[in-house]
Amino acid sequence: MEQASLRDLNEPLIDHAEGQFFLNEAFKIIMEEVLSNGTDVKQKVCEWKEPEELALLLDLGVRETGEPRDKLLQRVRDVAKYSVKTSHPHFFNQQYGGVDYHSLAGRFLTEALNTNLFTYEAAPVFVLMENEVLRGLRQLVGWTEGDGIFCPGGSTSNMYAMNLARYQRFPEVKSQGVWALPRLSIFTSPESHYSVKKGAAFLGIGLDNIIFVKVDDRGRLIPEDLDEKIELSKSQGAVPFLVSCMSGTTVQGVFDPLDHIADICDKHKLWMHVDACWGGSVPFSKKHRHLMKGVDRANSVAWNPHKMLVAGLQCSALLLKDTTNLLKQCHSANATYLFQQDKFYDVNLDIGDKSVQCSRKVDCLKLWLMWKAVGSMGLEERVDKAFIHARYLVEQMKKREGFQLLSMVAPVIKERMMKQGTMMVGYQPLGNKVNFFRVTVFSPLLSQKDMDFFLDEIERLGKDL
Amino acid sequence: MEQASLRDLNEPLIDHAEGQFFLNEAFKIIMEEVLSNGTDVKQKVCEWKEPEELALLLDLGVRETGEPRDKLLQRVRDVAKYSVKTSHPHFFNQQYGGVDYHSLAGRFLTEALNTNLFTYEAAPVFVLMENEVLRGLRQLVGWTEGDGIFCPGGSTSNMYAMNLARYQRFPEVKSQGVWALPRLSIFTSPESHYSVKKGAAFLGIGLDNIIFVKVDDRGRLIPEDLDEKIELSKSQGAVPFLVSCMSGTTVQGVFDPLDHIADICDKHKLWMHVDACWGGSVPFSKKHRHLMKGVDRANSVAWNPHKMLVAGLQCSALLLKDTTNLLKQCHSANATYLFQQDKFYDVNLDIGDKSVQCSRKVDCLKLWLMWKAVGSMGLEERVDKAFIHARYLVEQMKKREGFQLLSMVAPVIKERMMKQGTMMVGYQPLGNKVNFFRVTVFSPLLSQKDMDFFLDEIERLGKDL
Ligand SMILES: Cc1ncc(COP(=O)(O)O)c(C=O)c1O
Ligand SMILES: Cc1ncc(COP(=O)(O)O)c(C=O)c1O
């Protein structure tokens, strides 16, 4: 203890040579455990432990004194060992499985640079790069102009859209709060992502002011019902301001009919937001882009390259048609310590005030590097491949008996698969239907035999049930 | 073009061997350019280019077809070259300079694992680890119980506190929105971070409902004025609900008198939030923890280990005294596809619904690994060192002539330093004072000679002015 307090605090506390050696060793472990073993079909997807047992194994508590290098490297190995291998071909659990090495290189570089994306001075490369990537994404949506920003996830992108829609209609909300406004109403599909609810609660609009529009038997929002519900809401004294519709619902992957919805939004002069967090990548594909026909008529689009494009968490873009600097007007606080106006370069490049964050991670580099590596054509292939696998699975399931009967036993099958670690896939109820498995199969790492494995494995795990 | 469309989309699109080779090469470049050259005092902090020139150099546009490996590696090198070296000893510009190699190893591992922190099933290690790290941080605040969560930055942590304070007082806000509530008011220091403004606007409370309390000549909030302003606000028909006070203001590093403020909050039964994003690390230091005396009486504390502790962006903890599961009640949406209640393990470990995000990055691993590596004592040294350097700078500046006269010429000096790339430091006005330089000197990499360099360099850059 005395030893430490005698260290000369006028000198650096960190030794670069030792630090870089450690980082090198840790990198080797990451390569081996996460990227080689972790993507090997012969290895487990997860190494299930009960929480109490895992806590003991990992010895998580922090202490007064530090630990030696070898112990720390063992910790790196243990964290890798007991974590779920999200890049494993049998991880079908959620919408972020898989790995892209170019993106991952971009992510390592992002971490090492530790750049804060608020001013040109602090982030010259990334201010320009974010701009360019957003331009590329907007182009796919069909916009030659516009605005946008990367957000810490699609939920935040959806919330931003909600706040912008409100501010555009009632700019006084920024200074006076919601009290100055009539009661607002939001329209969305019952299949929409729960972030619409979280957003309405967080922004002070309230869950009761979300109105759920009917969907057809394929889960698509019915424009006529939207029209009626808007009229009804008006007649009840509320002011409709936002329609939040879906390109790729979370559970079933449904695409709402955007063109028809746009007609209704035009008619009532409502902000049209498209939550394309999951489906937003289809415009890359000539075959499938028709699913989002009409998206260019929206006011905003939320799109998560960390899902179908495997860009890595987090990577979510909010795209805006607006050309009036609404994003900045709505979110700015004009802090003098960051956004001085007497700078020696064009202060329009200081984009930080468009965000409600202050520190903001660089989320564009990983997408940019991946896009440069495979081109738009490479990304198109990934989208097409995802559809091919999904279709194959559906066809195969129809041929196999018993796949309709899974619902009662889903939790048991899930428990068995987790404890054996052979694969991971999520289950859930939907509406008044009972439990079913939701398989996500978009990763570019997958092959048809992984689809077959999925089917065989469900059968194996459930055969005595 | 035909070639590509002939690829068999039933097979994987990504080659692990090639991908891992690329990642290895990129890692070497990162080591060399960012961590070796980038921390070398003999090299530049930044390689200034005008935006148009930089855009050309980087060739940022994305295209139909991909690029070969060597070209991509050159891109990695260029991004590194033209980015600001935030770990360079002469980067005094903002509160996130410096590098910790253990933390960085944790960040690389985080990226490779690509874990989404919402359920125990998907993130067994990190659910437990986040818990443990939050417990460790709460202990420093003086709480043996409580709750908490990592947020994408301190601004979000501050917003969460605002939303929780509102919900605790008026739970109906979640369903009915702000319309159901009386007009609310928030109390804070004029020196508080701009995220209080951004939060009030975003949450539908409005900037006009922030009431700025007077500060003394050292910039500390005056409790008597707080008391009066609360009374005044009540008499004007508003309902005060939150006092957001500061442990370490952004510009001057001022610590508000928490104990006195707590008395006033007790008296009026208001939620007391401490924005300790910048100063929150002082409890590690026996010498300096008195600055936050009384923090244990707060309801919530926001603390950014990505600032003084150099944990890397983003790392921000919101700590709560609450033991009633307020965080989850306030933010939950109970999505059935993630948070099924018929799971085979304790669903209290599925912490995702405490967040308003859905996907949530793992921000605890980097802090945990660093803490394990140097212990609480090592972090104490970093805090003490930051104070030693700050004090040294103040003393030296008093001895040098001309340092009071900088204000008129700050923008010119700044432009010169950026274009020469010798160092980076921010300037700004404060209240009715004119521009001054705001030097941040907390990085554990710094030595006293870097302080001397700062002073000499300012003199050199400004000597003809
Ligand atoms: C349709 C849809 N929208 C939004 C989101 C939220 O995105 P994030 O997890 O990045 O917050 C999801 C995530 O599952 C989603 O499926
Ligand atoms: C006192 C204070 N609070 C909050 C913040 C915001 O933190 P973040 O940048 O992580 O959003 C800052 C950042 O400068 C700060 O100095």
Inter-helix orientation angle A410-420/A448-462, to 10°: 110
Are residues B436 and B355 located together in one domain of the fold?
no
The atom number, within ligand 1, closest to the CA of A192 reads: 1
How far apart are the CA of B228 and the centre of ligand 2, in A?
28
Q: How confident is the model at residue A405 (pLDDT cuts 50, 70, 90)?
A: low
Together in a domain, A425 and A352: no
Does residue A95 form part of some domain?
Answer: no
pLDDT digits (tens, 9 = 90+) for B371-410: 999 999 999 999 999 999 999 998 998 888 777 766 778 8
pLDDT digits (tens, 9 = 90+) for A192-242: 999 999 999 999 999 999 999 999 999 999 999 999 999 999 999 999 999
Q: Taking CB atoms and an 8 Å limit, are B418 and A50 in contact across chains?
A: no
Average pLDDT over residues A296-319: 96
B100 touches chain A (CB under 8 A): yes
Label residues B411-441 b or e (16+ Cβ within 10 Å = b).
Answer: eebbebbbeebbbbbbbbbeeeeebbbbbbb
What pLDDT does A172 receive?
Answer: 98
CA angle centred on B198, ends A321 and B440, rounded to 5°:
110
% of chain B at pLDDT higher than 90:
84
For chain B, say whether A401 makes contact (Cβ under 8 Å). no
Nearest ligand to the CA atom of B338: 1
Instruction: Give the mean pLDDT of chain A.
Output: 94
Q: Report the side by side order of strands in the sheet with B433-438.
A: B91-92, B424-430, B433-438
The least confident of A95-109, A393-407, B281-295 is A393-407
Does some domain include residue A404?
Answer: yes
CATH number of the domain enclosing B446: 3.90.1150.170
Q: Do residues B344 and B376 both lie within one domain? A: no
% of chain A with per-residue pLDDT over 90:
84
Per the model's pLDDT, the better-predicted residue between A276 and B251 turns out to be: A276
Q: Average model confidence (pLDDT) for chain B?
A: 94
pLDDT of B3 higher than 50: no
In a domain, residue B91? The reply is no
- pLDDT value at residue A396: 92
Is residue B94 in some structural domain?
no
Are residues A340 and A394 located together in one domain of the fold?
A: no
Cβ(B154) to ligand 2 under 6 A?
yes
Q: Please check whether residues A343 and A383 belong to one and the same domain.
A: no
Shared domain check, B259 and B166: yes
Residues 242-301, chain B: which have Cβ within 8 Å of A?
A: 250-251
> In this structure, what token pair is assigned to residue A258?
């955007």
Centre of ligand 2 to C-alpha B154, Å, is 5
* Across B72-99, average pLDDT: 95
Give the model's pLDDT for residue B347: 86
Residue B339 scores a pLDDT above 50: yes
Q: At B82, is the pLDDT very low, low, confident or very high (cuts 50, 70, 90)?
A: very high
Say if CB A261 and CB A227 are below 8 A apart: no
A308 occurs within a structural domain = yes
Are A327 and A414 part of one and the same domain?
no
pLDDT of residue A52: 96
CB interface of A with B, residues 9-48, below 8 Å? 9-14, 16, 18-20, 22-24, 26-27, 30-31, 34-36, 39, 46, 48
pLDDT above 70 coverage of chain A, percent = 97
Helix (H) or strand (E) holding B305: none
Mean of pLDDT values over B1-7: 50
CA distance B227 to A163: 33
pLDDT in tens, A12-25: 999 999 999 999 99
* Ligand at shortest distance from the CA of A279: 1
| Structure confidence at residue A57 as a pLDDT band (50, 70, 90) | very high
Residue-level pLDDT at B432: 67
Domain final residue, candidates A83, A101, A132: A83
Say which residue the tokens 């050199």 belong to: B460
Q: Is residue A93 part of a domain?
A: no
pLDDT at B336 over 80: no
Q: Nearest-CA distance from A269 to chain B in Å?
A: 22
What is the mean pLDDT of the segment spanning B286-290?
97
Q: Is any Cβ of chain B less than 8 angstroms from the Cβ of A107?
A: yes
Cβ atoms of residues B65 and A377 within 8 Å: yes
Note the pLDDT tens digit of each residue in A153-177.
999 999 999 999 999 999 999 999 9
Distance, in Å, from the CA atom of A407 to the CA atom of A437, rounded to the nearest integer, reads: 8
Q: Are B141 and B218 in contact (CB under 8 A)?
A: no
Range(s) of the domain holding residue A21: 16-44+47-83
| B391 and B296 within one domain | no
Quick: pLDDT tens for A256-300. Answer: 999 999 999 999 999 999 999 999 999 999 999 999 999 999 999
Identify whether A90 is part of a domain: no
Q: What value does the mean pLDDT take over residues B425-447?
A: 83
Structural contact between residues A88 and B395, judged by C-beta atoms closer than 8 angstroms: no
* CB within 8 Å: B14 and A155: no
**Which residue among B55, B331, B448 sits closest to A10, beta carbon to beta carbon?**
B448
Q: Is B63 on the interface with A (CB under 8 A)?
A: yes
Residue B308 has pLDDT above 70, yes or no: yes
Average pLDDT for residues B17-43, to the nearest whole number?
97
Quick: pLDDT tens for B114-149: 999 999 999 999 999 999 999 999 999 999 999 999
- Of B300, B329, B361, the last residue of a domain is B361
* Residue B2 confidence class, pLDDT cut points 50, 70, 90: very low
Residue B3 lies in a domain: no
Instruction: Give the end of a domain, one of B83, B106, B138.
Output: B83
> Ligand 1, from B359, B361, B362: best to mutate by most atoms within 8 Å of Cβ?
B359
- The answer to whether residues B71 and B138 belong to one domain is no
Q: Give mean pLDDT, residues B430-442.
A: 80
Which protein residue's CA is at the shortest distance from atom 5 of ligand 2? B154
Q: What is the pLDDT of residue B6?
A: 58
Q: Are residues B152 and B281 in the same domain?
A: yes
Atom of ligand 1 nearest to the CA of A95: 14
Assign residue B225 the CATH number of its domain.
3.40.640.10
Please identify which residue in the block is written with the tokens 């170019």: A102
Report B:356-395 residues touching A (Cβ under 8 A). Answer: 356-361, 365, 368-369, 371-378, 381-382, 384-385, 388-389, 392
Q: Is A134 exposed, middle or buried (0-12, 13-18, 19+ CB in 10 A)?
A: buried
Q: How many CB atoms lie within 10 A of CB B190?
A: 12
The confidence score (pLDDT) of residue A6 equals 58
**Same-domain status, B386 and B352:** no
Residue A57 touches chain B, beta carbons under 8 Å:
no
Do B378 and B350 have their domain in common?
no
pLDDT of amino acid A343: 84
Centroid of ligand 2 to alpha carbon of B103 (angstroms): 20
Report the nearest atom of ligand 1 relative to the CA of A279. Answer: 1
B202/A197 touch (CB, cutoff 8 Å), yes or no: no
Query: In this complex, which of B250, B376, B415 lies closest to A63 when CB atoms are compared?
Result: B376
What's the CA gap between A264 and A224, in Å, rounded?
Answer: 8
End-to-end CA distance of chain B: 60
Say yes or no to pLDDT of A408 above 90.
Answer: no
Could you please report the per-residue DSSP string of B161-173?
HHHHHHHHH-TTH
Distance CA(B339)–CA(B337), nearest Å, equals 6
| Total count of domains within chain A | 3
Q: How much is the pLDDT for A432?
A: 67
